[in-house]
Amino acid sequence: MKDELYNKVLGTIRRHRLLLPDEKVLVAVSGGADSVALLRILLRTGCHCEVAHCNFHLRGEESDRDERFVRDLCRAHSLRLFVEDFDTASYAREKGVSIEMAAREQRYAYFEKLRSELRFDKIAVAHHRDDNVETMLLNLVRGTGLKGLAAMHYRNGAVVRPLLDVSREELELYLSEIGQSFVTDSTNLEADVARNKVRLEVLPMLKALNPSVADALQEAIRHAQDAYVLYRVAVDEMKARVFDGSRIDMAALRGVPAAPTVLFELLSPYGFNGAQAGEIWEQMDGGAGKVYQSAEWRLLRDRDSWVLERKDEPYECLCPVLPLEGFVRVAPDLAFSIRRVHRGPDFSIPTDKGTACLDLGKLEYPITVRRVETGDRFTPLGMKGTKLVSDFLTDCKKSVFEKERQLVVCSGGKIAWLVGERIDDRYRIGDDTTRMLVVQAVKG
């Protein structure tokens, strides 16, 4: 049996290329049967193994017993061991998560810290077939899509799971045959946690219907994982049709298959949940101006698109008063190149929106730059009378986000240039203009 199981795990490792020759592997060992079996199997393959153990101090003396066992195990096999103590209960209260989730977050953060600092190639964890089946059933009961049905993968970044094709029973039998002891977590025998209820109550009932239910569900998981790969390819193709990195084209979104699902997949990486994605889809025909927020992003309903923007520090001017010559950064993503020019016979007035050519004789000092304010008015070049800047920007089809970042160059308090759009007619170049101030906006 021990050779049969060893060869089975070795086949999984080779088939999925989980561990390559000469790689340095950090093995997560709790002291339970699963992780101890993983360590013993990897040592037999000749892997360069070092061990990490987490003491969450959740079970009193039993937690310390586990740590002592792992220390003795590593000493017996001359293995380097890393141990970390966690106050998991306090972490759970602080983060507002369950004890199980708190332990998971602390564990993987610690493993990644070790991997990064000590240059481990892989982190091997001992999830096995029964864990995978339990995860799939839990996801199904709680409500899930295809991703949840796919459960755990053989590889997730640097984390690898070589035991996903073997059962808990097989691992315990393997340890018995090689004479290796392990410790038992008493909480695994209690049915007061959701996973334990699935393990101790639900799966035994399913086995009464199908004695091979675990194998059947594992096969279903493999099919779901293959389907999820194809699903991701299709979703990525649909996302590319409708999203340019900052805008979601509504008309294009309506034209793709399973549009609400595509919208959810597009928004979820930015922290928007399923309920928000559903509401956003329902508001597709609503008016402009609605803003949805996740922890780090804002999504604006514009005229014909949704506009996505990160929540950053307020967009402020870095150089309120402009010099008459030079290159100055006026905002995090914008600089001005400023020069005084004498008008000669060969001079041609720039026509691009990114350059303002102003009559220097008409300018009053100081010349300043600031963000647009409510009630700002100016006289757009070629027009008579003033117009609200906000109305002008609306006519230019600027979004709320773009309006928030709009800058103006002012002369003695009056707007001389709506940056990147239009100069004020009062400062235009006339036939008698001899001296000019040329301001060029440089992005980036």
pLDDT tens track, the chain, 444 positions: 678 999 999 999 999 999 998 999 999 999 999 999 999 999 999 999 999 999 998 888 999 999 999 999 999 999 999 999 999 889 989 888 888 888 999 999 999 999 999 999 999 999 999 999 999 999 998 888 888 899 999 999 999 999 999 999 999 999 999 999 999 876 654 555 788 888 889 999 999 999 999 999 999 999 999 999 999 999 999 999 999 988 899 999 999 999 999 999 999 999 998 889 999 998 888 777 788 889 889 888 887 888 888 877 566 777 888 888 899 898 888 899 999 988 888 788 888 899 999 999 999 988 989 988 899 999 999 888 899 988 998 888 887 778 878 899 999 889 999 999 999 999 999 888 889 999 999 987
Domain match, 116 and 249 both: no
Q: Are residues 42 and 16 in the same domain?
A: yes
Domain-ending residue, one of 310, 345, 361: 310
What length does the chain have?
A: 444
Q: Please state, in angstroms and as integers, the Cα–Cα distance from residue 395 to each residue in 380, 387, 400, 415, following that order.
A: 12, 11, 13, 18
Domain identity same for 37 and 143? yes
How much is the pLDDT for 406?
87
Q: What is the domain range of residue 64?
A: 2-222
Per-residue pLDDT, 144: 82
Count of structural domains, the chain: 3
Strands 24-28 and 122-124: parallel
pTM for the model stands at 0.66
Q: Are residues 177 and 273 in the same domain?
A: no
CA distance 240 to 259: 13
In the prediction, which pLDDT does 439 show? 92
> Is residue 52 situated within a structural domain?
yes
Q: Are residues 10 and 157 in the same domain?
A: yes
| DSSP SS3 for 366 | coil
Distance separating alpha carbons of residues 196 and 328, to the nearest angstrom? 64
